[in-house]
Amino acid sequence: MRVVTIVSLAASAVLGLGALVVAKTVLPGAGAARSATAPKEDGVPVVVASRAIKYGDKLEPGMLTIVRAPANLAPEGAFATLEQVLAADKGGPPVALAPIAAREPVLPTRISGPGSRPTVSAEVAEGMRAYTLKVSDATGVGGHALPGDRVDVVLVRDLTPTGHDRNYISYVVVQNARVLGIDLNADPTSQKPASPNTVTIEVSVEESQKLSIAATLGNLSLALRRNGEAEVADASPLRTGDFLVGGGRPARTSSGGGGPVRAAAPAGILIVEGEAVKRDRKPRRAETVATSAAQPAAT
């Protein structure tokens, strides 16, 4: 019995030594292999929204969090600390100028500058201006233009305000202008069309000069563009005579007692006693419709 006990103890000692050797040699190698394959937590800190932020919300610490993103994928201008965001408005918390989704990076272009409320001035792009037009239900596309939409501005001018024959012409003054606000509504998430009285659009300095002159020449109206369409069309001035079907001026009698002579008419819109008639784009020479009888040749 004593021999069996001694053998058992010896076997136990050998197994313990073997387990110790395995723990010191094999297991550290496996752990090192796992460490080599595990991705390292690398990247740059980026402040993102921890929950959805609505337009006009004042940013608070609980709305924000920091994540790490690869340096080549981090948005340009993104904030790295919460303190930078919460002091972005002249040292105070800013407000959201556009909706920010959960986990979306908070960028300087999405939050306000001065003030505790969203302002149109913060929405105006660099080098651009905000210009306000007076509109109605008809000229304001029925109120369907909302902040963020794109519109063209069309001028209709009466060239003969005091004449018997009326002559109108239309121009496309500005194309692809972004709507900044309808009346006092500047919320780009607004989905409720309303009867507009004024529309504020984003234009260049030169375009603002054009609009100020155009407003004194005739009636301005908006044309709503398709979402995502930014093409600038080649739109030349258009007169009603370019597309209305009809004849020229009423025929007049020639001085020689012959048939009627149809006088050449300039391009434009002509309304005679309430009836619109067609005018060619280019003036034509007078054309005899009916000629008088042959006369003797002059000496």
pLDDT band at 296 (very low <50, low <70, confident <90, very high): very low
Q: State both tokens at 163.
A: 């004449």
Contact 276, 165 (CB under 8 A): no
Residue 1 structure tokens: 């019995």
Q: What is the pLDDT of residues 149-182, one digit of tens each?
A: 999 999 999 888 777 777 888 999 999 999 988 8
Residue that wins the pLDDT comparison between 13 and 200: 200
Alpha carbon distance 93, 114 (integer Å): 10
Is the separation of the CB atoms in 262 and 289 below 8 Å?
yes
Q: How far apart are CA 127 and CA 107, in angstroms?
A: 20
For residue 281, name the pLDDT band (cuts at 50, 70, 90).
Answer: very low
* Residue 36: C-alpha distances to residues 17, 54, 70, 79 (Å): 29, 43, 19, 31
Considering the domain 41-118, what is its CATH architecture? Alpha-Beta Complex (3.90)
CB 45 within 8 A of CB 66: yes
Residues 13-38 have pLDDT tens digits of 767 777 776 666 656 555 555 554 54
**Residue 205: per-residue pLDDT:** 94
CATH 3.90.1210.10, the chain: domain bounds: 41-118
CA–CA separation, 79 vs 69, rounded Å?
12
Residue 272 has pLDDT above 60, yes or no: no
Ranking 17-21, 32-36, 102-106, 208-212 by mean pLDDT, the lowest is: 32-36
Please report the sign of the dihedral spanned by the C-alpha atoms of residue 7, residue 13, residue 16, residue 18: negative
Q: What is the pLDDT of residue 275?
A: 44
pTM of full prediction above 0.85: no
Summarize pLDDT for 219-269 with one digit per residue, the tens.
Answer: 999 999 988 888 888 888 888 777 665 544 444 444 444 444 444 444 444
